[in-house]
């Protein structure tokens, strides 16, 4: 008989939402703030997510047009086909209702909450009782790894971890039930959302999903039925996600992602010593190498693994393989896999496999808590050991506070008190001092406090005035061409807000022919794959950008790309660049090779271009599939060869339209199938 007395409640989700809201308010989130890691100069939320959201919003509101192209970055690049822009992710369309910054905050909070609710549903589905499932959900919702990436602005990764528990939940339902049409369609939809919203993490999310499906297939007595329904869900998911993958296939040969070398892909590989971060929440390094899951969660997860080894053997394998893969080029597994499967290089940063550990630990912690409550240890040795852990833990924590405060942040040391606190709660169980419900509530408080303590050190909200300059420099008013800021003198979000086109930028989605041509124009030669143009730009103070400062820019070639101004935060002496002014600590140089290239955009996908000197041979639009003259004539491979009079160009990529049709047909057929099968009427009657 269960020792848990509490009955199920419909208020669990509301409680999770309130807990998350309180935390976000405490760390400074407001409607106009954006997430940052404390002390960080940059965040993807301001560099990429906010400019993308703003471009999407303006295109729909002001021009009533779906943005297929983005002219403001890297001399122009595909927008809707770029997985990072989230054009085809349903929640993105709420930008029609409110501010872009609020939308990013909402998306961050919603996907953390979605992950918590998914963990709750999956844990309950697999046998955890209410309070252990709630413990698992809270621990996942507030996992330090997730909060740290939220601070870094990695919204796409949060989308993946938000949907991942739901992927496992519907797989489990598909294996354990008759396989209703809803289960099949829901699994397909979740898979499509992960692909569309979080392509970068799809290797790990779908890899875990595949492994979990094989695990369930081995256990289910109705293997043919499960396999048939699973294949049907995969087929539907491919159709749902066609709007994203078909444009990517069309651009496959045109983007530079395939140029990633092994050393580029191994970025932020974990080192073996960083596994100690499981016990010490030192958050001073990169968010990519943060391994802390919470001491209380770690201890309970170990209990779940060791006290129920047969039941949880699958998760032994997941944790072990994820940890070894996270080591990247510091261990032999990843290099071997890269040589066997070269496309794995496309999924950079091996340490992101640790997201699977961040999922498994809270789940196992729930099982460990449930086992301990139902089978409290009575051995005198165990009791003595718990008392020893309490004493030793408190001693180590106080000693660390005194002796290590010069080397490790005090906030990290204070987190070590979570170990004795966890031992105290377990001691209350062993000595039978509290009821099971109170015990689990206490453990939830310890786990939440442990995660939140680290969370406030890796996540904060910064107000708009700290990351956006709303007034452009006077020299850039009425600009008809592009600017080039080799040292990132003007942040990307500023030029997006001013609607100024730039030649440089930060984005992993780059057109190969532009990247190759930009090397000659910027004078900075690539040494491998880079997410920035110029390739060696360092998003740090200008004095650290030695490679960029000494680069021999080609002003004439920059002019062919429509660059009229070069703006730096250090003086330069380059032929063809004439110093004009110094403003806001920046140096403004007029490009004397400016041949009067004028670009007038009518919405995001249509531009009128004129050139005063026909011999300029401008590269004003990069060679991307989908650009045509207004009369349908294709653009010359090497240049536009524009006449002096105006020429109008439109962007109509075939892949986007084909993908839209395939996805629309897939959704339509699925809805028809649900109606014919009688599922929707039965659902409405429940």
Over the stretch 30-85, which tens digit does the pLDDT of each residue have?
778 899 998 888 899 999 999 999 999 999 999 999 999 998 988 889 999 999 99
First to last CA, the chain: 30
Q: Is the pLDDT of residue 280 over 90?
A: no
CA distance 484 to 505: 9
Query: In sequence order, which residues have a C-beta less than 8 Å from that of residue 680 and are 6 or more positions away?
Result: 674
Nearest 5°: phi and psi at 373? -70, -40
Query: In sequence order, which residues have a C-beta less than 8 Å from that of residue 682 and are 6 or more positions away?
Result: none
Q: For tokens 């296939």, name the residue.
A: 249
pLDDT per residue over 376-410, tens digit each? 766 666 555 555 655 555 566 555 555 555 555 55
Q: How many CB atoms lie within 10 A of CB 17?
A: 17
Q: What pLDDT shows up at residue 686?
A: 46
Tokens of 296: 């209380």
CA distance 349 to 370: 35
CA distance 562 to 596: 8
Q: Which of 511, 591, 514, 602 is nearest to 558 (CA)?
A: 591
Nearest 5°: phi and psi at 610? -135, 150
**Would you give the distance in Å from CA 34 to the centre of its chain?**
15
Q: Is the pLDDT of residue 339 over 60?
A: yes
**C-beta of residue 480 within 8 angstroms of C-beta of residue 620:** no
Q: Where are the alpha helices (DSSP H) in 310-414?
A: 313-326, 333-340, 354-374, 380-403, 410-414
Q: What pLDDT shows up at residue 389?
A: 57
Task: Give the largest Cα separation in the chain, rounded.
Answer: 92
Helix axis angle for 354-374 and 202-219, nearest 10°, is 40
CA distance 94 to 631: 35
Average pLDDT, the chain: 83
Transcribe 251-287 into DSSP letters: HTTTBGGGG--HHHHTTT---GGGGGGGTS---SS-G
Q: For tokens 């075939």, name the residue.
A: 654
**C-beta of residue 89 within 8 angstroms of C-beta of residue 137:** no
Q: What pLDDT shows up at residue 213?
A: 95
Q: pLDDT confidence of 672, banded at 50, 70, 90?
A: very high
**C-beta of residue 507 within 8 angstroms of C-beta of residue 529:** no
Q: Say whether 564 sits in a helix, a strand or coil.
A: strand
Q: What pLDDT shows up at residue 546?
A: 65
Q: What pLDDT shows up at residue 2?
A: 44
**C-beta of residue 551 within 8 angstroms of C-beta of residue 522:** yes
Q: For tokens 């927008």, name the residue.
A: 79
**C-beta of residue 552 within 8 angstroms of C-beta of residue 523:** yes
Read off the DSSP letter of residue 278.
Answer: G
Q: Where are the alpha helices (DSSP H) in 29-143?
A: 44, 50-62, 100-125, 130-141
Kindly report the pTM of this predicted structure: 0.89
pLDDT per residue over 486-540, tens digit each? 888 899 999 999 999 999 999 888 888 888 888 888 888 887 788 888 876 554 5
Q: Say whether 510 sits in a helix, a strand or coil.
A: coil
What percent of the chain has a predicted confidence (pLDDT) above 70?
84
Average pLDDT over residues 115-129: 91
Q: How many CB atoms lie within 10 A of CB 670?
A: 18
**C-beta of residue 467 within 8 angstroms of C-beta of residue 453:** no
**C-beta of residue 166 within 8 angstroms of C-beta of residue 233:** no
Q: For tokens 């377990």, name the residue.
A: 426
CA distance 213 to 198: 20
pLDDT per residue over 9-40, tens digit each? 456 667 777 777 777 776 667 778 899 998 88
Q: Say whether 617 sits in a helix, a strand or coil.
A: coil
Read off the DSSP letter of residue 287.
Answer: G
**Would you give the distance in Å from CA 222 to the centre of its chain?**
37
Pairing of strands 69-70, 77-78: antiparallel
CA distance 155 to 84: 9
Q: What pLDDT shows up at residue 264?
A: 85
Nearest 5°: phi and psi at 533? -125, 120
CA distance 227 to 235: 12
Q: Which of 357, 457, 382, 373 is nearest to 415 (CA)?
A: 457
Q: Is the pLDDT of residue 585 over 90?
A: no
Tokens of 266: 């191994």
Q: How many CB atoms lie within 10 A of CB 276?
A: 11
Half-sphere exposure of 127 (CA within 13 A, CB side): 9
CA distance 485 to 493: 13
CA distance 384 to 431: 11
Q: Say whether 500 sits in a helix, a strand or coil.
A: coil
Half-sphere exposure of 595 (CA within 13 A, CB side): 23
Q: How many CB atoms lie within 10 A of CB 580?
A: 14
Average pLDDT over residues 250-258: 82
Instruction: Classify each residue of 507-543 as buried b or exposed e, where b means 16 or more C-beta atoms within 10 Å of its C-beta.
Output: bbbbbbbbbebbeebbbbebeebbbbbbbbbebeebe
pLDDT per residue over 426-478, tens digit each? 777 777 777 777 778 888 888 888 888 888 888 888 999 999 998 888 888 88
Instruction: Classify each residue of 349-368 as buried b or exposed e, where b means 16 or more C-beta atoms within 10 Å of its C-beta.
Output: bbbbbbbbbbbbbbbbbbbb
Handedness of CA 343, 348, 354, 360 (dihedral sign): negative
141-145, 207-211, 527-531, 637-641 — most confident range: 207-211
Q: For tokens 């039978």, name the residue.
A: 432
Q: What pLDDT shows up at residue 123?
A: 93
Cα separations in angstroms, 369 against 86, 116, 137, 426, 441: 38, 17, 13, 9, 11
**C-beta of residue 175 within 8 angstroms of C-beta of residue 227:** no
Q: Is the pLDDT of residue 360 over 90?
A: yes
CA distance 543 to 163: 42
Query: CA-based Rg of the chain, rounded to a whole angstrom?
Result: 27
Q: Is the pLDDT of residue 613 over 80?
A: no
Average pLDDT over residues 600-619: 76
Pairing of strands 586-591, 577-583: antiparallel
CA distance 319 to 360: 7
Q: In degrees, to the nearest 5, what angle opens at C-alpha 309 toward C-alphas 303 and 312?
A: 90
Q: Is the pLDDT of residue 680 over 80?
A: no
Q: Is the pLDDT of residue 671 over 70?
A: yes
């Amino acid at each position: 008989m269960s020792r848990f007395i509490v009955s199920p409640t419909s208020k669990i989700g509301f409680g999770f939402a309130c807990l998350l809201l309180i935390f976000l308010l405490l760390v400074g989130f407001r409607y106009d703030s954006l997430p940052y890691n404390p002390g960080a100069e940059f965040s993807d939320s301001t560099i990429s997510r906010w400019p993308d959201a703003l471009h999407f919003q303006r295109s729909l509101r002001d021009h009533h047009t779906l943005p297929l192209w983005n002219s403001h970055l890297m001399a122009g690049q595909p927008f809707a086909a770029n997985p990072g822009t989230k054009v085809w992710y349903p929640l993105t369309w709420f930008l029609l209702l409110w501010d872009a910054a609020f939308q990013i905050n909402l998306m961050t909070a919603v996907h953390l909450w979605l992950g918590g609710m998914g963990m709750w549903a999956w844990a309950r589905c697999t046998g955890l009782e209410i309070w252990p499932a709630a413990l698992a959900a809270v621990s996942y919702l507030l996992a330090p790894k997730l909060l740290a990436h939220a601070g870094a602005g990695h919204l796409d990764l949060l989308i993946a971890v938000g949907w991942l528990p739901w992927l496992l939940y519907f797989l489990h339902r598909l294996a354990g039930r008759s396989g209703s049409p809803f289960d099949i369609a829901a699994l397909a939809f979740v898979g499509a959302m992960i692909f569309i919203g979080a392509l970068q993490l799809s290797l790990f999310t779908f890899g875990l999903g595949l492994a979990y499906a094989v695990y369930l297939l081995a256990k289910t007595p109705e293997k043919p039925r499960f396999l048939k329904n699973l294949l049907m869900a995969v087929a539907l998911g491919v159709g749902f996600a066609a709007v994203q993958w078909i444009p990517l296939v069309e651009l496959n040969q045109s983007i530079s992602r395939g140029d990633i070398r092994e050393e580029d892909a191994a970025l932020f590989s974990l080192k073996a010593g960083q596994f100690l971060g499981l016990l010490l929440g030192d958050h001073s390094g990169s968010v990519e190498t943060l391994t802390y899951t919470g001491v209380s969660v770690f201890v309970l997860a170990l209990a779940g693994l060791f006290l129920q080894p047969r039941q949880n053997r699958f998760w032994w394998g997941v944790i072990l393989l994820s940890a070894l893969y996270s080591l990247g080029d510091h261990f032999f597994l990843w290099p071997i896999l890269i040589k066997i499967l070269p496309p794995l290089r496309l999924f950079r940063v091996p340490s992101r496999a640790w997201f699977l550990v961040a999922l498994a630990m809270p789940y196992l912690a729930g099982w460990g808590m449930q086992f301990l409550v139902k089978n409290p240890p009575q051995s005198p040795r165990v009791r003595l050991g718990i008392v020893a852990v309490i004493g030793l833990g408190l001693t180590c924590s106080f000693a660390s506070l005194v002796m290590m405060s010069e080397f490790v942040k005090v906030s990290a040391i204070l987190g070590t008190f979570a170990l004795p606190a966890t031992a105290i709660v377990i001691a209350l169980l062993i000595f039978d001092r509290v009821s099971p419900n109170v015990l689990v509530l206490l453990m939830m408080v310890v786990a939440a406090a442990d995660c939140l303590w680290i969370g406030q050190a890796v996540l904060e909200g910064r107000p708009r005035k700290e990351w956006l300059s709303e007034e452009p420099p006077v020299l850039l008013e009425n600009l008809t061409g592009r600017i080039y800021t080799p040292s990132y003198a003007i942040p990307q979000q500023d030029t997006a807000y001013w609607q100024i086109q730039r030649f440089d930028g930060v984005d992993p989605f780059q057109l190969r022919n532009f990247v190759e041509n930009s090397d000659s124009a910027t004078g900075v030669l690539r040494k491998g794959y880079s997410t920035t143009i110029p390739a060696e730009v360092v998003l740090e103070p200008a004095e650290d950008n030695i490679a960029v400062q000494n680069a021999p820019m080609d002003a004439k070639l920059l002019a062919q790309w429509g660059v009229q101004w070069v703006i730096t935060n250090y003086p330069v002496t380059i032929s063809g660049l004439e110093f004009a002014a110094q403003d806001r600590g920046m140096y403004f140089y007029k490009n004397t090779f400016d041949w009067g290239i004028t670009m007038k955009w009518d919405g995001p996908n249509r531009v009128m271009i004129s050139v005063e000197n026909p011999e300029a041979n401008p590269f004003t639009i990069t060679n991307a599939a989908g650009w045509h003259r207004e009369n349908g004539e294709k653009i010359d491979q090497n240049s536009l060869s524009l006449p002096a009079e105006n020429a109008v160009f439109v962007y109509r990529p075939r892949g986007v339209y084909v993908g839209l049709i395939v996805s629309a047909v897939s959704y339509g057929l699925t809805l028809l199938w649900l109606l014919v099968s009688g599922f929707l009427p039965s659902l409405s009657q429940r």
